[in-house]
Amino acid sequence: MTKPALGVRVRRAVSRALLVVGGVVTLVCVLLPIACWRDDMAIERNLGQAVAQVDSVSFNRTVVRYATPGTAALADNFELYLEHHDAFLMANHGATTLGRTLELAHQRMESLEHAARIILTARLLGRVNQLSVADVEALRASREEQG
């Protein structure tokens, strides 16, 4: 028996390699959704409560001290401020907002992000002018009147 030509051997090797790569990609495409589903089920079985401690409160922000997600420490500290605040910045977590409806919570998040962009731009330009206590109270009263 004679050896096949070099070109034939290369084509066979490339074909086999492509077949192996295709098999691996197919396997990953099947296993990835299964793994995601399994992780989702594990998360749903082990849901916890968010816990935080308020680090500082001012007229325009509430910063919540870092706590491990899913622990009781995060939620307990929010409780004191829920009546008067609807947006929170959580150290090492990000922001969260509250609302009677999902739409209202979403609007508040959009407002928070917009305010953050404005403050960042003002700081980059040199200075942020803070409102007086009376101006903040007038804005709050106006917001409550409008719902």
DSSP label of 71: S
Is residue 106 predicted with pLDDT exceeding 70? yes
Residue 28 and residue 9: Cα distance in Å, rounded?
Answer: 29
Query: What's the pTM value of the predicted model, to 2 decimals?
Result: 0.47
Both tokens assigned to 144 = 């409550």
The pLDDT value given to residue 17: 93
pLDDT at 61: 55
Retrieve residue 56's tokens. Answer: 């500082």
pLDDT of amino acid 47: 65
Residue 60 and residue 89 in contact, taking contact as beta carbons nearer than 8 Å: no
Q: In the prediction, which pLDDT does 3 show?
A: 79
Please tell me the predicted confidence (pLDDT) of residue 54: 44
pLDDT class of 28 with cuts at 50, 70, 90: confident
Q: Does residue 86 contact residue 108 with C-beta atoms inside 8 Å?
A: yes
Please state the rounded mean pLDDT for residues 50-74.
Answer: 60
Place of tokens 């500082």: 56
| Residues 6 or more apart in contact with residue 55 via CB below 8 angstroms | 63, 64, 65, 91
| Chain mean pLDDT for the chain | 79
59 contacts: CB under 8 Å, gap ≥ 6: 131, 133, 136
Highest mean pLDDT among 28-37, 44-53, 78-87: 28-37
